[in-house]
């Protein structure tokens, strides 16, 4: 048997998944196991078809260490990325490459009464269409909006499950391990594991979408707060606009800066005769409308640029609060809205300049995600693999491993 409930083997697989090529010495250090034991585990994983030797590291003056990596097609992860209106699913390999088409379906979490059943049915249908055997799928990772208790598998805002575990419900239907977490937290996890802040200690990841989410990296680790609900950036009450937020309060950051609000402002101004290329773009479908505004701004449409600049300045006001409290090294702009690219940087930086004490903000940089809209899918996959070495997994036999690698 290849993978038993062997913490050592699963620990090695997890390290190689997140770090790519590694030497035996580095694996030994990261897993806190002796070099002889690590060597033994590596040899077994090589024999069983999970790990391959990838040559020697570049010379640094001494003896070059032999490097090891996972076979990318030996295990897979079903990654699910949800927002309030659209859900995406894809199968990913151990190098985070998509090995299926990204499947999208509309699921309005505010209006769909039995959204959990709809989600489960779509995941089941997606898995049934895959050419990969279920036994080769390490698990299902789901990123979703709302107050998510990842440990209990509950969402207290959406996907009502009558206090049943969402994870257990979907796992019972699919026969696979299921892990859920907040979408912004998983976007931050993706940035920490695979993005620009992989080796940074203190960073904030701002998820620009239908709300303005936040994931926090403190001392090189995800910070989730006492109940796991830290990072509700959208609901900082920054404005006296008397606008009702989705949380039920008024004046939240979300009421002036979300893509949903930007679309509503665009439709209102276009209806009043504002000249823009957006007059020829679809504006009634939320997803298409957001893509239209972001692409129009990238193409230099003055009205679209104004919309994003106004929102960016107000997001910057919220970021100024974060900088004063947490003094991060880096702020990363990620998520759906990051597609507008550098257009966000100037208004956000201007707002920081105006609203931050210079000494505190002097060394904080604002960066664009190199993962963009894919960050949520990558984070959902990372969630599965973070739990891979902790949770019991199904056993795989040598013949199955050989059939995957052939």
For residue 170, the domain's CATH number is 3.30.420.40
pLDDT level of residue 161 (50, 70, 90 thresholds)? confident
For strands 51-56 and 22-23, give the pairing: unpaired
Average pLDDT, the chain: 90
Q: In the chain, how long is the greatest CA-to-CA distance?
A: 73
Q: Specify the pairing of strand 154-155 against strand 148-149.
A: antiparallel
- Asked if the structure places residue 105 within a domain, the reply is yes
pTM for this model (two decimals): 0.90
C-alpha–C-alpha distance, residues 318 and 256, integer Å: 11
**DSSP conformation class of 208:** E
Task: Say if residue 244 is in the same domain as residue 301.
Answer: yes
395 domain residue, yes or no: yes
pLDDT at 59: 64
Tell me the residue range of the domain where 26 lies.
7-70
Question: pLDDT digit string (tens) for 76-99?
Answer: 999 999 999 999 999 999 999 999
Is 2 part of any domain?
Answer: no
Above 50 in pLDDT, residue 295? Answer: yes
Q: Is 192 a domain residue?
A: no
228 and 131 share one domain: no
Q: How confident is the model at residue 236 (pLDDT cuts 50, 70, 90)?
A: very high
The pLDDT value given to residue 3: 47
CATH of the domain at 16: 1.10.10.10
- Given this model, what pLDDT does residue 229 score? 86
For residues 270 and 288, state if they share a domain: yes
Q: Secondary structure of the chain: what % helix, strand, coil (to 5)?
A: 45, 20, 35
Q: Are 222 and 290 part of one and the same domain? A: yes
Among 19-28, 160-169, 343-352, the minimum mean pLDDT is found in 160-169
| Residue 173 sits in the same domain as residue 204 | no
- Residue among 387, 400, 398 at smallest CA distance from 139: 387
| pLDDT at position 106 over 50 | yes
With 0-12 / 13-18 / 19 or more C-beta atoms within 10 angstroms meaning exposed / middle / buried, residue 250 is middle
Q: Once rounded to an integer, what is the mean pLDDT over residues 224-229?
A: 85
Structurally, the chain folds into a number of domains equal to 3
Residues 93 and 222 in one domain: no
What mean pLDDT is predicted for residues 23-47? 93
Name 39's bridge partners.
Answer: none
Beta strands in 125-219 (DSSP E): 137-144, 148-149, 154-155, 178-182, 203-208, 212-218
- Let me know whether 180 and 206 are in one domain: no
Distance of CA 236 to the CA centre of its chain: 22
């Amino acid at each position: 048997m290849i993978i038993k409930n062997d913490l050592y083997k699963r620990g090695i697989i997890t390290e190689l998944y997140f770090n790519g090529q590694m030497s035996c010495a580095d694996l030994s250090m990261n897993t806190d196991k002796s070099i002889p034991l690590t060597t033994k585990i590596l040899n077994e994983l090589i024999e069983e078809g999970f790990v391959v030797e990838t040559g020697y590291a570049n010379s640094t003056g001494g003896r070059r260490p032999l490097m090891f990596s996972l076979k990318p097609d030996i295990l897979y992860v079903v990654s699910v990325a949800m927002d309030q209106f659209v859900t995406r699913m894809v199968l990913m390999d151990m190098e985070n490459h998509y090995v299926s088409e990204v499947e999208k379906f509309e699921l309005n979490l505010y209006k769909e009464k039995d959204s959990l059943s709809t989600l489960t049915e779509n995941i089941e249908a997606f898995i049934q269409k895959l050419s990969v055997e279920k036994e080769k799928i390490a698990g299902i990772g789901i990123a979703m909006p709302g107050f998510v208790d990842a440990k209990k598998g509950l969402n207290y805002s959406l996907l009502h499950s009558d206090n049943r575990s969402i994870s257990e419900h979907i796992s019972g239907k699919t026969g696979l391990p299921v892990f859920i977490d907040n979408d912004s937290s998983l976007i931050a996890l993706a940035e920490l594991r695979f993005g620009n802040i992989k080796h940074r200690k203190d960073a904030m990841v701002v998820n620009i979408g239908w709300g303005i989410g936040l994931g926090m990296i403190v001392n090189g680790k995800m910070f989730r707060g006492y109940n796991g609900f830290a990072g509700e950036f959208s609901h900082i009450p920054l404005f006296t606009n008397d606008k009702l937020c989705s949380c039920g309060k008024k004046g939240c950051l979300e009421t002036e800066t979300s893509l949903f609000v930007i679309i509503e402002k665009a439709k209102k101004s276009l209806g009043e005769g504002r000249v823009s290329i957006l007059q020829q773009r679809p504006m009634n479908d939320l997803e298409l409308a957001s893509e239209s505004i972001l692409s129009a701004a990238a193409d230099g449409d003055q009205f679209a640029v104004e919309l994003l600049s106004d929102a960016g300045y107000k997001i910057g006001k919220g970021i100024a609060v974060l900088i004063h409290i947490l003094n991060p090294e880096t702020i990363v702009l990620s998520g759906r809205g990051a597609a507008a690219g550098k257009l966000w940087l100037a208004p956000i930086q201007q707002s920081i300049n105006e609203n931050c004490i210079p000494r505190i903000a002097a060394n904080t940089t604002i960066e664009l995600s190199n993962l963009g809209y894919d960050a949520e899918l990558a984070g959902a996959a990372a969630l599965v693999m973070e739990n891979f070495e902790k949770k019991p997994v199904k056993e795989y036999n040598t013949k199955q491993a050989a059939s995957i690698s052939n």
